[in-house]
Amino acid sequence: MSKRTEFLFWVGVVCLFSLIYKFVMKDSLIGVINQTLPSTEAGMLSGMLWGDKTGFDKNFYQQLQATGIVHLVVVSGTNVLLMTTLVVETLAYLVSRKRAIVIGVGLMWWYCLTVGLEAPVLRAGLLLSLVYGSQFLGRKFEVWRSLVVVILMMAAANWRMLLTISFWLSFLAFVGVISFETLTLPFPLKRVRVFWQTVWISLWITPLLAITFGKISLVGPVINLLVLWLVEGITVIGVAGMIIRPLLWVAYPLLHYVVVLVDIVGSWRWAVMEVTVNWWMVAGWYLILLYFLVKRQNPPLTPPLTRRGF
């Protein structure tokens, strides 16, 4: 490619980012969803993609909490990861991978700024910048070292963020994901690996939820297992549907399935248990988890980033 063509390509990229920032607004995209889908399903999709909770009534939101899947309607690192990888991997077929990375990371930060730089979103944005930055420079990516760097960067930007529950829930969930990749599982458990991964992540976040809210969901791991496999499909279809509206109806059966499941399970009073814990109990719990992690760990390795729980 000639220097003139290269120059015109990057000018076009800058113009594209400028147009997106100027004309593509969050409220207008949420409006497309609300005009196309029934209210509850529209609220679910808007929450998943944009963190918008105005489409929920109080009862349905409480049911989401009772079933342990309220995190679905909060923009998380998973959303950022899905959208970024979708853009980068698609564009990589059309242009060089380095150009695809520049465009994908640029769009990622537009999305992060649009939904708000809450702790999970900022963490995912910084980590993905390091992931794709290492690819761009041809360097090896080390997840644990990068996680420490991201925490230090977040603390330097706003140390008060370290005092929020969203930061620690996001951090612990991510630790649960990457530490699970290093565990040695007995052969019978490998056949239901996804279930045990969900349970393992729950073990990392449940103590913090218990001491913060005074209650835990007894059905959370099972319900998460029943719905998490839909998140990727709903996200991809939802993003495409905001551009090509009829596609939103393809996501409707998946969203309706989640709504019906929440409506049924959320009415089970026994599914939520009130608990009383203190910080000594929480500290002891995490010491047990770390001890188990050391005992069941494979030889040291750098686990790959996965989409679930990012």
- Spatial distance between the Cα atoms of 260 and 254, rounded to a whole number of angstroms: 10
Reading the block at residue 148, the tokens are: 């420490």
The region of weakest confidence among 6-15, 237-246, 276-285 is: 6-15
For 53-79, the pLDDT digits (tens) are 777 777 877 777 777 777 777 777 777
Determine contact, residues 215/275, Cβ cutoff 8 Å: yes
Position 308 scores a pLDDT of: 47
> What is the sign, positive or negative, of the torsion defined by CA atoms of 102, 104, 110, 115?
negative
The region of weakest confidence among 48-57, 111-120, 206-215 is: 48-57
For 119-152, the pLDDT digits (tens) are 888 888 888 899 898 888 888 888 888 888 888 8
Determine contact, residues 220/210, Cβ cutoff 8 Å: no
What b/e string do you get for 190-201 counting C-beta neighbours within 10 Å, with b at 16 or more? eeeeeebbbbbb
Strand partners, 272: 217
Task: Record the pTM.
Answer: 0.75
- Spatial distance between the Cα atoms of 159 and 168, rounded to a whole number of angstroms: 13
- 264 CB burial (10 A radius; 0-12, 13-18, 19+): exposed
HEC string of 132-158?
Answer: HHHHHHCCCCCHHHHHHHHHHHHHHHC
